[in-house]
Amino acid sequence: MNQPSSPPPPQHSFGFPKPMPQNTMFFILLGGFILFMLFLSLQHTSINTRKLSWGEFRQELEADNIINVNVVGTSLSGKIKSSDLKDPTKTGIANFSAEIPLTALADQEIEKQIYTKLGKNYSASPVPDFLGTFMIISMIVSVGIVIVFIFMFRRTRDQILSGAGNGLLGFGRSPARRYNNNVNRPTTFEDVAGLDSIKNELLEIVDYLKDPQKYQRMGARVPKGTLLVGPPGTGKTLLGRAVAGEAGVPFFSINGSEFIQMFAGVGASRVRDLFHTAKEAAPAILFIDEIDAVGRHRGTGIGSGHDEREQTLNQILSEMDGFTPSESVMVMAATNRPDVLDPALLRPGRFDRHITVDRPTVKGREAIFKVHIRNIPLASDVDVNVLARRTVGFTGADIRNLVNEATLWATRNGKNEVEKADFDYAQDKVVMGLRREEVITPEERKKVAYHEAGHTVVGWFQPLSSPVHKVSIVPRGRSLGATYTLPEGDQIGLSAKQAHAQLTFAMGGRAAERLVFDELPAGVENDLKQATKLARRMVSSWGMSEKLGPVAFSVDETHPFLGREMNTNREFSEETARLIDEEICRFLLDADTLATQLLQEHRTLLDQLATALELEEEIDEPRLLQILGIPPFKTTNKKE
């Protein structure tokens, strides 16, 4: 029978056994010494001691019942015959104690009488010097504490001088986590999907870490630092671990915020410790996630240059300059805010290579779906390509969360396979939030149905709008309904006609409620915000206004506390600002007018769709085809 293996010993963040704290043994010895002294003091007190008054002691002395006496100051103690037992035939010996009154201290006859009665069984001892004993014990304890602190100080000093940087109580030790491929399952490029061009770029680093002499022989120098830039969740950290897994080298991971502490100099000490450990484990990869937490611009003009964050950044710059060409340590960092990083950190010689990790395309999302569903039983109605087309703008982390939510929902309903309906539920939950269990009045329900039907009809009969995929009046998150569009492909750019079509689609809900109920609704705030934001970018940033021409009127949105200039002036006059506002209003009014015209032309279909929404709550694309039919522009294209 196989014996269960014992659990592994606890590990430090770098994989080494934890040493016993330096002051543990000292406190153990100190506690034992105190207990020993208390034990000795308690030996002077006996449970069987009999208390005698001075008169009782004189009587017992006359009756020859006192066996011996020891006098210490004004206290008497000794042994006495148990003459007061109930059974006279039994005899015993007990301890006794008594106090000499002040009136009897000067009576020499009493001392002679005791000496005559007891002879050599009488003794006298001087009063013990408790204060002196206490002082000696205190000195011994103090000397011991001083010795322990001297030992700790010398050990800390030696570690700092040797470059380990532990610091007092370990504050200077880097909290980086080490992933060893011999213990953990290595992450390779097979686990990274949808980033083929980036993986090809990183293969050079992998090849260098596997055989550094190959490049050094030709005089080539591998980039010291590689900066991965991209939105959150696109796989920057996963790429770093994949490089370490492919190269088979240790991988040290730390977050930028872990360098900063409330104690001055701790961040710089942790940087020294991190780079020192990585050099000892070379070839290795040192990965700093969210480097913008410590690598922001220095000198905002508000604080001094001696704050903890700037000192930590200075130490990082110094350590990266300290690498020699023969040291096989690759520094990788990730951030989604490259605009706030200090220029000294981005210059060649530190982070030489900048790689953009953007959101995946349709093919990339399809590959990511295949990675996350490879161990999940799928039903036959699940089409991975459709899932990829429906998740425009999703990152790798979003897709992983979507697959997990679908699997949890299928498991909760007792299914053996994950079906298409489970992915639909998961996408609604991820995009719009949880379904709200609330009761709305029939009037409000009717208004929501017409609002979403207005978006759907306007989007359905516009050639340049994204096709409507699904419409729902189920309250989710902070909205009472939603209309989902499904682009036919990834849109890298946006033309002026497509932008105007998006404005018209956004105005469809407001136009429908005004057309049907003859009132302006208050629940269109989000639609108006999105439309106004898009119109402002069309006019001031993209040059889509014929009246203003191809000029960009954008305002510098740089935050002043990121190390840039405190005062940024607007690059256009007040008259131009008034014209920009007029053009934005014109774009929105034109979109509202066009949306109203489309709804008036298809008023019958609008009423039919709103009625169906009130009954069914959610309508997908096949059901929309039954109600609205095929748009005329698609029929024309099909005939051509």
At 404 the three-state DSSP class reads: helix
10 in any annotated domain = no
Q: Beta strands 468-472 and 251-255: pairing type? A: unpaired
Q: Which residue has the higher pLDDT, 570 or 519?
A: 519
Query: pLDDT digits over 311-347, tens only?
Result: 778 778 877 776 555 566 788 888 888 888 888 888 8
CA distance 57 to 69: 11
Which of 58-67, 119-128, 187-196, 495-504 shows the lowest mean pLDDT across its residues? 119-128
Q: How confident is the model at residue 304 (pLDDT cuts 50, 70, 90)?
A: very low
What is the amino acid identity at position 107?
A: D
Q: How far is CA 186 from CA 180, 251, 330, 392, in A?
A: 8, 10, 18, 30
166 in any annotated domain = no
What range does the domain containing 334 cover? 172-356
Of 410, 432, 454, the position where a domain reaches its end is 432
pLDDT at 305: 44
CA distance 26 to 5: 34
211 and 189 housed in the same domain: yes
Please state whether the predicted TM-score (pTM) of the whole model is above 0.75: no
- What lies within 8 Å, CB to CB, of 568 at 6+ separation is 555, 556, 558, 560
Q: What is the number of helices (H) and of strands (E) in the chain?
A: 21, 14
477 and 621 housed in the same domain: yes
Q: Considering only CA atoms, which of 144, 147, 55 is closest in space to residue 101?
A: 55
pLDDT at 590: 94
Query: pLDDT digits over 215-241, tens only?
Result: 777 777 777 788 889 888 888 888 888
- pLDDT of 266 over the 90 cut: no
Query: pLDDT digits over 497-514, tens only?
Result: 989 999 999 999 999 999
pLDDT at 213: 77
- What lies within 8 Å, CB to CB, of 453 at 6+ separation is 471, 512, 606, 609, 610, 613
Please give the structure tokens belonging to residue 135: 């002082």
CATH number of the domain encompassing residue 626:
1.20.58.760
Which of 115-124, 173-182, 429-438 shows the lowest mean pLDDT across its residues? 173-182
pLDDT at 431: 83
Round to the nearest angstrom and report the end-to-end CA distance of the chain. 77
φ and ψ at 447, to 5 degrees?
-65, -40
pLDDT at 337: 84
Of 328, 356, 384, the position where a domain reaches its end is 356
53 in any annotated domain = yes
16 in any annotated domain = no
Active site residue 557: no
446 and 338 housed in the same domain: no
568 and 596 housed in the same domain: yes
3 in any annotated domain = no
pLDDT at 298: 74
Please give the structure tokens belonging to residue 352: 């030489």
Please give the structure tokens belonging to residue 380: 């036959």
Q: Map tokens 């939510």 to a residue.
A: 405
Query: pLDDT digits over 6-53, tens only?
Result: 444 334 333 334 444 444 555 555 666 666 565 555 544 444 567 777
Please give the structure tokens belonging to residue 612: 């169906």
- Kindly state the average pLDDT of the residues 275-298: 80
CATH number of the domain encompassing residue 93:
3.30.720.210
CA distance 20 to 11: 13
Q: Which residue has the higher pLDDT, 134 or 613?
A: 613
495 and 548 housed in the same domain: yes
303 and 393 housed in the same domain: no
Of 332, 356, 380, the position where a domain reaches its end is 356
CA distance 343 to 141: 55
272 and 412 housed in the same domain: no
CATH number of the domain encompassing residue 216:
3.40.50.300
CA distance 463 to 459: 8
pLDDT at 302: 46
- Kindly state the average pLDDT of the residues 385-401: 87
- What lies within 8 Å, CB to CB, of 148 at 6+ separation is 22, 23, 26
- Kindly state the average pLDDT of the residues 274-288: 80
pLDDT at 103: 65
CATH number of the domain encompassing residue 416:
1.10.8.60
pLDDT at 402: 93
Query: pLDDT digits over 435-492, tens only?
Result: 777 767 888 889 999 999 999 999 999 888 888 888 988 888 777 888 888 776 666 7
484 and 573 housed in the same domain: yes
Q: Say whether the peptide bond before residue 487 is cis (omega within 30 degrees of 0).
A: no
17 in any annotated domain = no
201 and 311 housed in the same domain: yes
448 and 555 housed in the same domain: yes
Please give the structure tokens belonging to residue 276: 């020192």
At 114 the three-state DSSP class reads: helix
- How many beta carbons lie within 10 A of that of residue 439, not counting itself? 7
- What lies within 8 Å, CB to CB, of 563 at 6+ separation is 296, 297, 298, 299, 300, 340, 342
Please give the structure tokens belonging to residue 64: 């020859």
6 in any annotated domain = no
pLDDT at 419: 92
Q: Which residue has the higher pLDDT, 469 or 155?
A: 469
CA distance 120 to 111: 13
- Could you tell me what percent of the chain has a pLDDT over 70? 72
119 and 137 housed in the same domain: no
Query: pLDDT digits over 539-563, tens only?
Result: 988 888 888 888 888 655 544 444 4
Q: How confident is the model at residue 177 (pLDDT cuts 50, 70, 90)?
A: low
- What lies within 8 Å, CB to CB, of 221 at 6+ separation is 215, 325
What is the amino acid identity at position 415?
A: K
Catalytic pick among 60, 290, 310, 452: 452
592 in any annotated domain = yes
Number of domains in the chain: 5
220 and 306 housed in the same domain: yes
Q: How confident is the model at residue 2 (pLDDT cuts 50, 70, 90)?
A: very low
